[in-house]
Each structure stands twice: as structure tokens, then as C-alpha cells.
Amino acid sequence: MKHKTLSLKSDFEVAFAVRKVQAAEMTLASGSKTGGPDNRHSGADQWLYVVSGNGLAIVDGVEQRLRPGTLLVIERGEAHEIRCTGDEPLRTVNFYSPPAYGDDGEPLPAGEG
């Protein structure tokens, strides 16, 4: 068993991975964004769950509003950007299958998770 209480205060932090799935938390301040047209996980699908705040996901040019309770799947290879559009931080829990990041938060090459 692995356990961690998420603070949802840091920009991005890997929680842990078990076998072929990794959990991470992400918090974006009001008006900030991450990713862009060149941001892709070539070897992993990303499941993003919105805990609090409001935002916008742009996935392969298609916009999707984000609000608490939203579950979004960004499939491997899809270009994506996440923006915080509200007055409060956008807080998300993300799952990557297989893992997309090392314990240091740096992206892993495809297939190394």
C-alpha cells in the first residue's frame, strides 16, 4: 500500500506510481497556464480531475471548460494546454498511464515509465 495526503498547493508534484499508473497533483494560479501546442505525452494517457477552481483545456485545438468535478482524458500524443480562468487557483489530480514523469517531476521519454 502507498498513501499520501495531497496538499494541492504546489505547481506540480508527483505523488507516486504503482506499476503502470502514476498520480500527481497540479495547481495553477489565477491567470496562469501550462503546456501549449508543443506539449504532448507521447507515451502516456493523462486523466485530469478538477478538484476546485475553473479553467480551460485546449486539446488538439478543441476547447473544453473545466470546473469542479470535471474529468478529462488527454490521450497520448494529443497537444494540450491547461489554463486557470477563474479568480481562485485551479487544483487538479492527474493520473498518467503509464507514468509520464520521474520522481523529480521531469518528463520521462516515451516508454520509460
Cell of 93: 489530480
Provide the whole-model pTM. Answer: 0.84
89 has pLDDT over 80: yes
Percent of the chain clearing pLDDT 90 (strictly above): 68
- Separation of alpha carbons 108 and 42, rounded Å: 10
Mean pLDDT of 70-86: 96
Chain position carrying cell 474529468: 71
- Separation of alpha carbons 4 and 93, rounded Å: 12
Gyration radius (Cα) of the chain, Å: 13
Percent of the chain clearing pLDDT 70 (strictly above): 96
Nearest one of 5, 13, 10 to 89, comparing CA atoms: 10
Which of 10-19, 23-32, 103-112 is least confident?
Answer: 103-112
pLDDT score for 112? 56
Chain position carrying cell 506540480: 12
Domains along the sequence of the chain with CATH: 12-97 (2.60.120.10)
pLDDT score for 111? 53
| Range 21-33 burial, b when 16+ CB lie within 10 A, else e | bbbbbbbbeeeeb
The Cβ-side half-sphere exposure at 80, using a 13 Å CA radius, reads 20
Mean pLDDT of 81-85: 98
Residue with the bigger pLDDT between 90 and 101: it is 90
Which of 1-10, 72-81, 97-106 is least confident?
Answer: 1-10
